[in-house]
Structure formats: C-alpha cells, structure tokens
Amino acid sequence: MTDAPSPNHEPRAAGVPLDTVVLHYTGMPTGAEAIARLRDPAATVSAHYLIETGGRAIRLVPEHRRAWHAGAACWAGETDINSRSIGIELVNRGHAWGYHPFPDSQLESLRGLLAEVMQRHTIPPERVLGHSDVAPARKIDPGELLPWRWLADQGLAVWPVPVESPVETPGIAWFQDGLAAVGYCVPRSHTLDDATANVLTAFQRRFRPAAVTGAPDTETAARLRGLLARDSCRKPGDRR
C-alpha cells in the first residue's frame, strides 16, 4: 500500500454506521491525472483508495474520515452515502475516454482490499455497491465491464440466481417495488419515468450487462426476482 494523502476529507457524520463500500472508475485519460485530481483541493473530490491498472493500491484518505466520492447519492433511503461508506477508485479511462476491461492484476488487488475493508468494518456483501447504483441519474461507473459475478463468487458482492416466471413481463409498479426492496432509490410513480429508467439502467449495467436498455423485460425481472429471493432467505441479523 502506497500513501498519497488528499486534503479533501472531513469528519464523518456522528452516529452514522460505516456499512457500505462504493466502487468507482476514475474516468480520466490516465491514472496520474486521476490521482492529481483526487488530491487537488480545488476539485473537492476524493476517495479512500485508488487501485492502478498494475495493481498498486494507493491510500488517499484515512478510513475514519469522510471522503468526497459519492456526491448526491441515495441507497435504501439514506442520502449521506459519503458518511457511511468507503470509496474505492479503479483506474480506467471510462466510457468517455475508451472504456476497457479491468486487468487481472487490478482485480486481484481489489479483491484483497475489499476483503480487508469488509472484515474490518463488518460490511456485508449486499452493501458493496457501484457508483451508478447510488447515483443512477448521474453516474455510469464502474460500468458493465466490472466482473460483479466474480466478486460475488469471492463473497465480496451479491449476484442473483435468476428466478424465471411463466407470466409476461411484470408491470412497472412491480419493478419499482422490487428495485426499492433491494435498495435502489426509485419513485413509485407506476410509470416508466426518467428516474425509473435510470434505475433500471443501473440495475442492468450491474446485473445484466449484456443488454443495458433501461427498459423492463422478462430477463431483468428474473434477475430482480433472484435478488429478492436471496434477501427473503436471509434471517434477521444475518450479515451475509
């Protein structure tokens, strides 16, 4: 671990548990530019860690401090995501500069760091999120190339076993209720409004990356049912 302290942090909100990890990509042409920005006081952004493509992990902000990585965000009804989370940036040019697969060396470093952070703070796999999960109207990172299923296989995230149904695609109200039940902040408008389409897109980008459409369909419903079934099997107090 290399230290490159950023000045961009502050105290966490009192009484808020540290129970979440948010994964990002840097979305800049080079890693060096990303590190410089995360350490620039004028930029007012930061993260706790950054992992380079070669696998080197850099600590920017102490874990007990509130880094400025999630921005305007929401999960499970909570809006101060920065106070309750650790932010990890993965160096990747992103969609604007030439999005590319995350190298194995970078993923292995992420695996080790995630395991340590989750153990240290007793963070369950369902609270390892992408930036697009907590800010679906603004963000698309870490994107559809992050291997969430692989992370889930390591016990570091969740992945649904699709639950098929013989009926046609459920109505939009069913999707809104289901997405809210697994944590997404989604309106209950009963219509496919822009906010709901953004959340569907974020869900698909993570759990159905082969077809990110923002539209409800039977496969998206099957994967959402899988997450709902997983949650229903958890016992009260179970931190899995």
Q: Confirm whether 89 is a catalytic residue.
A: yes
pLDDT computed for residue 231 by the predictor = 63
Q: Output b/e per residue, 58-73; b: 16+ Cβ within 10 A.
A: bbbbeeeebbbbbeeb
The set of residues, in sequence order, having a beta carbon less than 8 Å from that of 34 and lying 6+ positions away, is: 26, 27, 28, 50, 89, 91
Structure-token pair, residue 23: 């994964």
User: Hey, what amino acid is at 14?
Assistant: A
Q: Residue 234: what pLDDT?
A: 46
Show pLDDT as tens, one digit a residue, over the chain (240 residues): 999 999 999 999 999 999 999 999 999 999 999 999 999 999 999 999 999 999 999 999 999 999 999 999 999 999 999 999 999 999 999 999 999 999 999 999 999 999 999 999 999 999 999 999 999 999 999 999 999 999 999 999 999 999 998 788 999 999 999 999 999 999 999 999 999 999 999 999 999 999 999 999 999 999 999 999 986 544 333 333
Of 89, 116, 164, 168, catalytic: 89
Backbone angles phi, psi at 83, to 5 degrees: -70, -25
Name, in order, each residue with C-beta under 8 angstroms of 135's C-beta and a sequence gap of 6 or more. 70, 71, 72, 73, 74
Can you spell out the DSSP letters for 197-239? HHHHHHHHHHH-TT---SS--HHHHHHHHHHHHHHHHSPTT--
Q: By the 8 A CB rule, do 78 and 183 touch?
A: no
